Amino acid sequence: MDKNNIKIYLSTDHAGFDLCHFVVDSLKNDGYDIEYLGPDVINTEDDYPLFIKKTADQVSANTDSMGIVFGGSGTGEAIVANKTKGVRCALYYGRAHAVGAVDAEGNESHSPYEIVKLARLHNDANMLSIGARFVSKDEAVEVIKLFLETEFENKERHVRRISEIE
């Protein structure tokens, strides 16, 4: 996607707070249009669904936008996001977990980021949830940029399947 034509919404829970702020600064420095939706301070008792829902609602309402959310594992955040109409949130929890992975044909995966790329290519995912406890700052920025820059293939079978999900 052209970073000049897309708004990126971000939010986090307490476990992803530092990583999220690092990513916000990095993406802003690279020219992305960023809106951070909270929280403003770390609170280990926060109710992350409230912050994640803000991002999911913005992505749902603005078709020319994407969302990035952060949590300890990223799982709860992805679940929250995916309950919002029109949101397709993929989960990424680190390249270390992709070691030895195989594709559908049984071939060893050549890229630990393949799951993120396929989420865009085949599923037109418009949000990405990051497991902050499992990725470094540099890895997070790298995988998020891949997510943002990968275009949906728009093949008939993928469009049909997304329609069936909706």
d(Cα 71, Cα 52) in Å, to the nearest integer?
10
The strands making up 65-71's β-sheet, listed across from edge to edge, are: 33-36, 7-12, 65-71, 127-131, 89-92
Higher-confidence residue of 111 and 56: namely: 56
Question: Per the confidence metrics, is the pTM higher than 0.85?
Answer: yes
pLDDT at 123: 83
Two tokens, residue 37? 């939706």
Active site residues: 77, 122
Domains of the chain, CATH where assigned: 3-165 (3.40.1400.10)
Q: What digits encode the pLDDT tens for the residues 57-87?
A: 999 999 999 999 999 999 999 999 999 999 9
